Chain A
Amino acid sequence: MSLYRVAIHIVPRRGLLDPQGKAVSDALHALGFSGVRETRIGRFVVLEIEAGDAMEADAAVREMCERLLANPVTEDFEIEGVHAIEGAHAT
């Protein structure tokens, strides 16, 4: 078993109103960033997980996202990367 660090992005589903994102878009426009078309604000989750290999870690995290970390009705998630933590071997 090895230890992996996994980063997950969870954002409101495109097409659903994200009032927080809209408020931030408006503020960015006020600052002069007129090119901003859309802002969506979500969560960034980093977790460390023991797994046999990176694929196993990825599969487990995908299931976590589907069952708890993201709400399939309102949110999309993206697993950014699965990185082995050097020198850390789970016991």
Chain B
Amino acid sequence: MKFGIVTFPGSNCDYDAYHAVIDQLGERAVYLWHKSRDLEGVDVVILPGGFSYGDYLRAGAIARFSPIMHEVASHARRGGPVIGICNGFQILCEAHLLPGALMRNSGLKFVSKPVHLRVENTDTLFTHRYEPGQVLRMPIAHGEGRYVADRATLERLDNEGRVVFRYVDAHGGLTAEANPNGSLHAIAGIVSAEGNVLGMMPHPERAVEPILGSVDGLGIFHSVLERVAA
């Protein structure tokens, strides 16, 4: 299977994603330059973390107009899998491929640390290899990760099982302390209505081998691999 990793000016987790796919999954991956209009036949698109266009105006606001994003949106409309991590999640929201927005962390600080996530829905393209309620550990590294959406959108996300990850404590409990950025409903990751677009602030590509301190991110890659290859 072939993954396409989009590189924007300011992306800095593109190599991490590449490493996860090539060295840990043993699958193929290509970098897709933001000015390209060709997805090169990839099966899955990854929008990696970083600070595309220096986060000018708002995180993700400018990247969304890159030529490649037109192709990413077409891929998503065809049902193709798209994974947006950190800045990639911000871009997906700005591009209206996912609802809501990511705002400045409630504590104002950039937060870089491992967090715990609870898998809220295992019936998705990206999470079916996890156990319901499984608690994962993977890093976050962002200054603008506070997920917000209007009340109706939040209700819809909840009712449709589209909240796939929430910030929790090590035991899986929802506590204010476990929410690192003030996200509404402790939301760490969501999927689109059709289920083929995932956006999440934590970094699964940095949790794919024991030397990194966690292998909990692998489940996302294996989940999508199994479904798309099938």
Query: Do A73 and B108 touch (CB < 8 A)?
Result: no
Cβ of A23 within 8 Å of any chain B Cβ, yes or no, is yes
Q: How far is the CB of A70 from chain B (nearest CB, A)?
A: 9
Cβ of A17 within 8 Å of any chain B Cβ, yes or no, is yes
Neighbour of A73 across the interface among B101, B104, B105, B107, CB < 8 A: B101
A-B contact count (CB 8 A): 35
**A interface bracket (residues with beta carbon within 8 Å of B):** 10 to 19
Cβ of A19 within 8 Å of any chain B Cβ, yes or no, is yes
Using Cβ atoms and an 8 Å threshold, which residues of chain B touch A71?
A: 58, 61, 94, 101
Interface size of B by CB at 8 A reads 19
Q: Chain B binding site: helix, strand, loop or mixed by DSSP?
A: loop
Neighbour of B103 across the interface among A16, A23, A43, A69, CB < 8 A: A16
Query: Do B105 and A69 touch (CB < 8 A)?
Result: no
Using Cβ atoms and an 8 Å threshold, which residues of chain A touch B58?
A: 71
Query: Do B57 and A19 touch (CB < 8 A)?
Result: no
User: Which A residues are closer than 8 A to B by beta carbons?
Assistant: 12, 16-20, 23, 43, 68-69, 71, 73-74
| Besides A17-B103, A19-B104, A71-B58, 4 new A-B residue pairs in contact (Cβ under 8 A), listed by A number | A12-B103, A17-B146, A17-B182, A74-B101
The 3 closest A-B pairs by CB, nearest first: A73-B101, A74-B101, A19-B108
